[in-house]
Structure 1
């Protein structure tokens, strides 16, 4: 795990406590150090960094794909929560937070990122769309589609049963958090972004009040 925090008074006890919980922890004090680090299974990112806006660091990490990011923020209103998820964060904790809550959120995010063996094929071809769950790559024809981690998770979930409806509450629980209590508008935002990147809105069908379905355009 990579902890990105510039304040030693906060980072020290946090790194030590996570070590006691069985995590191997690397500490980065700046955004530059965070972006240069490698090998992390999860990033715990404080937004208040001395060199780079933490939101930009989150966007860059999300663009690389596959590395879950939990944001640590002092902001707690709904607008900020939606913004954090839209820039690619997998979850967030609001200061001040309990250490037990933080560990529970870390373990939940790691569980969501673990593949469900046998639940869907590693590589899947749906018309011109290719989804590779092992490498977390998506191709449309021969062109790679640049997706954030959450956009990939959403597409992979819908693609697991093409033509079948995924209910909104099931998508939120499986892509975000089974205990998610924030606005569900973030799902609609991610669907809109995914449609745009796939180049044809017919890939994802909306069933109003129910959920979404992946369809191969004809």
Structure 2
């Protein structure tokens, strides 16, 4: 089961960037753009396994959520803020934050610090696979680049997200349900025709013979598998 991350960030572009990056790593991401939305998620959604918290929210200070979390549970929490004063960092760390990242930061640093915070709670995670090579095909998820024989390919966002999900589990079968949930959302678990359509489009772009695929393999009645890298 994917680890649940609650992201509280009012900047729309940053929120989208972080959500997409975390989803590629296999996290189940719930987002909030305000203090009120953050409180609502804590009250009504499944408890998160980790929280990423901005401080300056449009309707209050994110520190309020930190205080609530520390009263109710020991969920790992990382502050992500543009505020870089040492006094603020020390106060929030003393108040129970596990870490404090000053914007801007790299996705790789954020992911590493998340793994550390989870490890301190006894949850061990590994860095997700972000690069795949097999013959003519090369996929670099961090660079958001897919190339065939050294030539960059243009994929739609959905095609890329589907391929990325398979890259993270290269060599292993990923069920129809898992693919639909991770790429389209939990409300799409019965829409297997989406998978057939987009897998056909991917094969047309990636396979030498789409009707006889060597990379994007079908496991009848179960799901799909990306051939092991080599």
Q: TM-score, normalised by structure 2?
A: 0.48
**Residues in 1 aligned to 2:36 and 2:75: alpha-carbon distance in whole angstroms:** 17
Residues 174-197 of structure 1: per-residue CA shift (max 9 Å, x gap) = xxxxxxxxxxxxxxxxxxxxxxxx
Matches for 1:1-218 after TM superposition, within 5 Å:
1-37=5-41, 38=45, 39-114=47-122
Unaligned runs of 5+ in 1: 117-218
**Residues in 2 aligned to 1:91 and 1:63: alpha-carbon distance in whole angstroms:** 18
Larger radius of gyration: 2
CA RMSD of aligned residues (A): 1.6
Match of 1:198 in 2: none
Deviation at 1:89, TM superposition (A): 0.8
Judged with a 3 Å threshold, the aligned counterparts in structure 2 of structure 1 residues 21 and 47 are, in CA distance, closer, same or farther, namely same
Match of 1:199 in 2: none
Deviation at 1:87, TM superposition (A): 2.0
Number of residues paired by the alignment?
A: 116
4+ runs deviating over 4 angstroms: none
1:3 aligned counterpart, secondary structure: strand
* 8 Å contact kept, 1:30–1:51: yes
* 8 Å contact kept, 1:28–1:34: yes
Deviation at 1:3, TM superposition (A): 0.4
Deviation at 1:115, TM superposition (A): 6.9
Unaligned runs of 5+ in 2: 125-230
* 8 Å contact kept, 1:35–1:61: no
**Residues in 2 aligned to 1:87 and 1:35: alpha-carbon distance in whole angstroms:** 18
**Residues in 2 aligned to 1:75 and 1:84: alpha-carbon distance in whole angstroms:** 12
Q: TM-score, normalised by structure 1?
A: 0.50
Judged with a 3 Å threshold, the aligned counterparts in structure 2 of structure 1 residues 115 and 23 are, in CA distance, closer, same or farther, namely closer
